[in-house]
Amino acid sequence: MSLFENDIAYDAPEWLTGEHMTGTTIMAVEFADGVVFGADSRTSTGTYVANRVTDKLTQVSEKIYCCRSGSAADTQAIADYVKFYLDLQENETDEDPTVEVASRIFQLFCYQNRDQLSASIICAGWDKVKGGQVFCLPLGGMCVRMPFAIGGSGSTYIYGHCDNTYKEGMTETECLKFVSDAVALAMHRDGSSGGMIRLAVLTKDGCRRMNIPGDQLPTFWSK
């Protein structure tokens, strides 16, 4: 893209023309009483860091959240649509929406617009029907329930770590360590992930948010 200044064309820098992307690391894991979320906080425009403290954990219902990766504009728009339809259902039925219903609405938008959107979503939360649940929606709109899910550019660095570390029946404390360690490892390797780690614990009692600042991230051999 060229801009004009005093009738002279020049190439605009990437940070002016690039799309805002949540090139990112997102994660969610089920445990007995609910779900633990985690994400980094970096939003990039090409190689330029546009926002160091983005919140990629987005509430769509009282006890349902989503983690967003891909185009920031696309994922924010989809989350807004899903929140609208869940609010509509709740008002009409006078019941809290289920996590699966929320995930299927995400799937509807992601699949029907798969050629126009860049959106990868993890939808998770707690409902009275099935308790804590995690649904993974990668690019293209597939929707699968999983005991844990990872996404974003940083996830490619930690598949092996997660497969080796995850075990069934983890407690809330173990899940928080699992998520924070995995996201920190991804942030260390992935140039599009960084900033701080945002964590959330969602149970029948509601959502509890936590943050790990950038200077207090878990460290490993590279310390």
Within 10 A of 57 (CB to CB), how many other CB atoms are there? 23
> Which sign does the torsion angle of CA 120, 135, 59, 36 carry?
negative
pLDDT score, position 4: 47
Residue 189 amino acid letter: R
pLDDT score, position 1: 45
User: Residue 71 gets which letter from DSSP?
Assistant: B
Position 162 pLDDT exceeds 90: yes
Mean pLDDT over residues 35-41, rounded? 96
Residue 160 amino acid letter: G
Position 8 pLDDT exceeds 70: no
pLDDT score, position 68: 93
Position 46 pLDDT exceeds 80: no
Question: What is the average pLDDT score of the chain?
Answer: 89
Position 15 pLDDT exceeds 60: no
pLDDT in tens, 56-101: 999 999 999 999 998 888 999 999 999 999 999 999 999 999 999 9
Position 13 pLDDT exceeds 70: no
Mean pLDDT over residues 203-212, rounded? 95
Of 59, 57, 47, 61, which Cα lies nearest the Cα of 18? Answer: 47
CB of 102 closer than 8 Å to CB of 89: no
Of 14-28, 74-88, 92-106, 116-130, least confident by mean pLDDT is: 14-28
| 49 pLDDT tier (thresholds 50, 70, 90) | confident
Among the listed residues 24, 45, 98, 203, the single catalytic one is 24
User: Residue 151 gets which letter from DSSP?
Assistant: E
Position 10 pLDDT exceeds 70: no
Q: Determine whether 24 is an active site residue.
A: yes
User: Residue 195 gets which letter from DSSP?
Assistant: S
Position 118 pLDDT exceeds 60: yes
